[in-house]
Amino acid sequence: MSVLKAALVQHAFTADLNANVEKSLAAIRQAAQAGARLVVLSELHTSPYFCQVEDPGLCALAESIPGPLTERFAAAARDNKVVLVGSFFERRAPGLYHNTAVVFEADGTLAGRYRKMHIPDDPAYYEKFYFTPGDLGFHAISTSVGKLGILVCWDQWYPEAARLMALDGAQVLIYPTAIGWDPGDPEAEKQRQLEAWVTIQRSHAVANGLPVLSVNRVGFEPSPAGKGGIQFWGHSFAAGAQGEILARGSHERDEIIPVDLNLARIEEVRRIWPFLRDRRIDAYGDLVKRYRND
């Protein structure tokens, strides 16, 4: 059975944390009833995107993994017999937090976790304040539906991360995401940003000959700082092993986006486009340098 039925859950979130969880649990149930065996949620889906400001008090949102919060999602995976990708603000120790994606097996066990390796820090995305960069590296997670290369949001701009997951045997790249527009930006800039975001992720499918799932949130979230805010742009999508768009969501609506992934196409595409055959690993050594000229 090489066709994997997946579902991308694109949601808006509010300050009512329990309502966010209930909304996700309902979507998981609905996706499973529609036949999904892999369900992917967006980044930090239990709260508003709190990194718009630097506030030590917001670290109270962080939870242990496993813990009571992730147990609710583990139970949803088990009850609905789906492999589930969630994303949490992980409290590893007092004062030590990560942005962590978690994969639950269809029996509710924790298949693995990925701690976001590339951490952004830009106006309205002050993630370096909250999250210690991941220390687990880039490793695909084995599940009953295949080997999953889980990466998170800012990671999506780094071809190195996608490549390492492919070299680790990943059969699909999965990007839980929270990205949106600055409402003050001109329309042309907004379009360039959205197109770049789609393009770079489709390119990971192309370069590595495997499908990509990217799940973003929707909705406007005002900034606690009082002005600005983020218009999350949705557009969750699935691309096939040649980068072709298989499914895509709207910019503004809550949606469950189903997609069938033909995992047998990975090898078919890699036979006609044998990029992995020809990598010049003898000449790639400087990729571990910050810059070359100094």
Residue closest to 82 by CA, chosen among 51, 98, 105: 105
By CB under 8 A, tell whether 192 contacts a second copy: yes
Active site residue 153: yes
156: helix, strand or coil: helix
Given candidates 30, 203, 223, 250, which one binds a second copy under the rule CB under 8 A? 203
CA distances from 116 to 31, 110, 173 (A): 26, 17, 14
Q: How far is the CB of 118 from a second copy (least distance, A)?
A: 5
> Which stretches within the chain are classed as H helix?
17-33, 68-80, 127-130, 159-167, 187-208, 264-272
Q: How far is the CB of 59 from a second copy (least distance, A)?
A: 22
Active site residue 51: no
Give 110 or 275: the residue with its C-beta nearer to a second copy. Answer: 275
Of 5, 90, 105, 153, which is the active-site residue?
Answer: 153
By CB under 8 A, tell whether 284 contacts a second copy: yes
Residue closest to 37 by CA, chosen among 87, 68, 1: 1
Q: How far is the CB of 18 from a second copy (least distance, A)?
A: 34
| Interactions with a second copy, residue window 132-191 (CB under 8 A) | 133, 137-138, 154, 157-161, 163-164, 167-169
Residue 264 sits at φ, ψ, to 5 deg, of: -65, -20
Active site residue 244: no
Of 23, 116, 221, 255, which is the active-site residue?
Answer: 116
CA angle 96, 97, 103 (to 5 degrees): 135
Q: How far is the CB of 39 from a second copy (least distance, A)?
A: 27
Given candidates 23, 202, 217, 248, which one binds a second copy under the rule CB under 8 A? 202
Q: Which tokens is 184 given?
A: 């003050």
CA distances from 160 to 151, 157, 246, 276 (A): 11, 9, 24, 14
| Interactions with a second copy, residue window 226-245 (CB under 8 A) | 242-244
Residues designated catalytic: 43, 116, 153
